[in-house]
Amino acid sequence: MLKDYLIEIFEPSLLFGLLCSSVGLFAAIYFKTINLYLGLIAILGVIIVQIAVNLIDDYVDYKIGIDKETTKTKFSGGSILVTSNKVTTKNIIIISIFALIIAGLIGVYIIGFLSSFVINFIILSMIFGFIATVFYARYLTHVPFFAEPFVSLSFAYVGLAVFVVASNNFLNALELFFFVFIPSGMQVGVAMIANELPDKKADEKYGRRNTVIMFSDHKKSGLLYLLYYIVVFLLIFAGIYIGFLPITFLITLIVLPGIYKVWKGIDSYKDPETHEKTMGINTITAFLLIALLSLAFII
């Protein structure tokens, strides 16, 4: 039983929170404004908040019935542990509440080390994180075309928050947000586009309005996937062009073959089973690009 709860809590998607927040830490190292201790504590807080978000999402999806109708794959369809009753929804909520309390305490602890100007930013971050955690699955996913941009910006904000905490100032924060943190956060959005396809019918039935549902066919979803990456690389190239980012950020071009394969997979989508390989490449490509954004700061 304990093993099942550990698997439910530590989902692979936590890597998105870890990697996006690590970009902020490596950016602080690059600009020589790093407080490594505070940066690592902030990353821990981010992961705990994401645990709460994931658990609440699984709880909501089970309670409203979506997870009972989806085809389960390694990357979509909701929690198998919940639908098979290996973990209980009651315990999931208890764990998510506990996680939110721990994350809040970490936030309060961090505030004691920061300047008054940065403290206000962290308090706003905590409020934003609470809203996203509690209301995303139940309400925000019902807003047309909102889910992917909201999640992308949320994970971009994660990188910004860790950078500000580790630096204890806002120097270079705005430029980093546009040229680095938005591209890293958008990896979560592009991952959603590919992974939402198998759940399209069930999500639509229960009122979800993500872009995959709003578009009439999967080919348009593929074009949106490409558009996301066009924006990602335009922002990175702009940062390099104006001299803010080092030339090492061109290392991100390594992911281009993966992007092409995922686009072709979305474009030719047939069913959840045959799409599983595309979702795997999609996830690896997104993880890799975020990791490369961190690596580019130190090579």
The reply to whether 3 falls in a domain is: no
pLDDT higher than 80, residue 134: no
For the chain, give the secondary structure using H, E and C. Answer: CHHHHHHHHCCCCHHHHHHHHHHHHHHHHHCCCCCHHHHHHHHHHHHHHHHHHHHHHHHHHHHHCHHHCCCCCCCCCCCHHHHCCCCCHHHHHHHHHHHHHHHHHHHHHHHCCCCHHHHHHHHHHHHHHHHHHHHCCCCHHHCCCCHHHHHHHHHHHHHHHHHHHHHCCCCCHHHHHHHHHHHHHHHHHHHHHHHHHHHHHHHHHCCCCCHHHHCCCHHHHHHHHHHHHHHHHHHHHHHHHCCCCCHHHHHHHHHHHHHHHHHHHHHCCCCHHHHHHHHHHHHHHHHHHHHHHHHCCCC
The reply to whether 228 falls in a domain is: yes
Residue with more model confidence, 284 or 135: 284
The reply to whether 14 falls in a domain is: no
Tens of pLDDT, residue by residue over 9-45, are 899 899 999 999 999 999 999 999 889 999 999 999 9
pLDDT reported for residue 69:
78
Tell me how many domains the chain contains: 1
Tens of pLDDT, residue by residue over 38-83, are 999 999 999 999 999 899 888 888 888 887 778 788 888 777 888 8
Tens of pLDDT, residue by residue over 185-226, are 999 999 999 988 888 888 888 888 888 888 878 899 999 999
Percent of the chain with pLDDT over 90: 57
pLDDT reported for residue 46:
93
The reply to whether 2 falls in a domain is: no
- Residue span of the structural domain in which 132 resides: 19-295
pLDDT higher than 80, residue 129: no
Kindly report the pTM of this predicted structure. Answer: 0.93
The reply to whether 33 falls in a domain is: yes
pLDDT reported for residue 20:
97
